[in-house]
Amino acid sequence: MRLNLLFKTIWVFFFITPAQGQNTQEFQSLHFTSSHTSFPDTGRMNGHWYDSTFYATSAHYNDSSILLIIPKHLDTTQKINFIFWFHGWNNNIDTAAEFYKLTRQFIASKRNAVLVLSETAKNAPDSYGGKLEQPGMFQGLVSDVLRELKKDGLVPTTAEPGNIVLAGHSGAFRVIAYILQNGQVNIQEVFLFDALYSQVDKFLHWIYEDNSHHFVHWFTNHGGGTDEMSDTMMRQLTIGHRAYKLVEEGVISPFIIRGDNILFVHSLREHNVIINDPDDFQLLLENSFILLPCKPQSMPKGSVGAIFVPKSRLRY
């Protein structure tokens, strides 16, 4: 796995200026802590050695922070949908949000959901998911997030969780796989960015559980084995008589994303530059099977139900 670049920026409010130069659309961000995050955990109570370097518990495995991004026009009359993003190695929730422009992409997608970034191994080369690998822990995390939204008056006290999407980059593969197996919450979609190193059995089990499940792996030849593991998973899908599609990044379109439940997208780019510019996280969110746009009045005229295609992917 390539080491992710580090940036430290905490955003309280962020504004996106539409291409038309009209009014901006804002969102609110919220930091809080939860006992149902990855750490602290007994599995790293004595720190962790990797490549002859020691990563102390106090600095890397003791942060239970959560970052929430709540769109201004979230429809709180319905169940609350969540997109959980898990970062990869040598990152944290704030650096990942900034470097990969996750907040910008999420708001631009206009999905009626809350973006949740839950801290895992902080600024460390480690895929271990901590407590979130345990049965029922993710269910507790979802409850904590909803409770915090209610406490801050951002959703009604009667609000319930709706559809849930799991997404992540690189080393996030492990915590996502264990959530699928042990989270005790119904997950409808999984979006991986160069993040298939192992745990294929868990992803396959989730795929076979329900034909409506939507799985996308966007991979490179520079991820330290994600291309080979993608080949392995595709072979197993073939053996299991489960249809999938493999496409090159240059031909990806909303119709392909929406037309195939199991999709592998091969990119010629590097490991750390397949998420944004062009904004592929936004592309997947915009063409989600389960996430609808925010209320019509929250979007520019004529944008309701529009399919997002990054400019770099337009074909004339």
Model pLDDT for residues 1-50, shown as the tens digit of each residue: 544 433 333 333 333 223 222 223 679 999 999 999 999 999 999 999 99
Average pLDDT rounded to a whole number, residues 147-173: 97
Lowest mean per-residue pLDDT among 8-12, 167-171, 193-197, 207-211: 8-12
Q: 71 forms bridges with which residues in the sheet?
A: 27
pLDDT reading at 157 higher than 80? yes
CA distance 207 to 237: 10
Average pLDDT rounded to a whole number, residues 176-200: 98
Average pLDDT rounded to a whole number, residues 68-85: 96
- The answer to whether residue 213 sits within a structural domain is yes
CA distance 197 to 173: 7
Q: Could you tell me whether strands 65-71 and 25-33 are parallel, antiparallel, or unpaired per DSSP bridges?
A: antiparallel
Domain count, the chain: 1
Strands across the sheet containing 13-16: 13-16, 25-33, 65-71, 114-118, 80-86, 161-169, 189-193, 214-219, 262-266, 245-248
Q: How confident is the model at residue 295 (pLDDT cuts 50, 70, 90)?
A: confident
Model pLDDT for residues 220-237, shown as the tens digit of each residue: 999 999 999 999 999 999
Q: 168 forms bridges with which residues in the sheet?
A: 86, 192
7 versus 110: the higher-pLDDT residue is: 110
Average pLDDT rounded to a whole number, residues 114-119: 98
Whose structure tokens read 């709540």?
70
pLDDT reading at 73 higher than 80? yes
Model pLDDT for residues 80-102, shown as the tens digit of each residue: 999 999 999 999 999 999 999 99
Domain of 153 in residue numbering reads as 13-313
- The answer to whether residue 2 sits within a structural domain is no
- The answer to whether residue 297 sits within a structural domain is yes
Q: How confident is the model at residue 64 (pLDDT cuts 50, 70, 90)?
A: very high
Question: Distance of CA 52 to CAs 46, 47, 48, 130, 212, Å?
Answer: 15, 13, 10, 21, 44
pLDDT of residue 26: 77
CA distance 71 to 68: 10
For the chain, the distance separating the N- and C-terminal CA atoms, rounded to the nearest angstrom, is 36
Q: Could you tell me the two tokens for 175?
A: 């915590």
pLDDT of residue 18: 30
- The answer to whether residue 182 sits within a structural domain is yes
Burial class of residue 7 (count of CB atoms within 10 Å of its CB; 0-12, 13-18, 19+): middle
Residue 207 belongs to domain with CATH number: 3.40.50.1820
- The answer to whether residue 179 sits within a structural domain is yes
Cα of 20 vs its chain's centroid, Å: 28
CA distance 246 to 256: 10
Q: What percent of the chain has pLDDT over 90?
A: 84
- The answer to whether residue 6 sits within a structural domain is no
- Return the axis-axis angle of helices 173-182 and 137-151, rounded to nearest 10°: 100
pLDDT reading at 275 higher than 50? yes
Q: Could you tell me the two tokens for 295?
A: 């209320």
Average pLDDT rounded to a whole number, residues 146-165: 97
Model pLDDT for residues 237-253, shown as the tens digit of each residue: 999 999 999 999 999 99
Query: Around Cβ 286, how many Cβ atoms within 10 Å?
Result: 23
Asked whether 100 and 66 are in contact (CB, 8 A), the reply is no
CA distance 266 to 252: 10
Q: What percent of the chain has pLDDT over 70?
A: 85
Q: Could you tell me the two tokens for 280?
A: 């592929």
SS3 of 38-62: CCCCHHHCCCEEECCEEECHHHHCC
Q: 247 forms bridges with which residues in the sheet?
A: 265
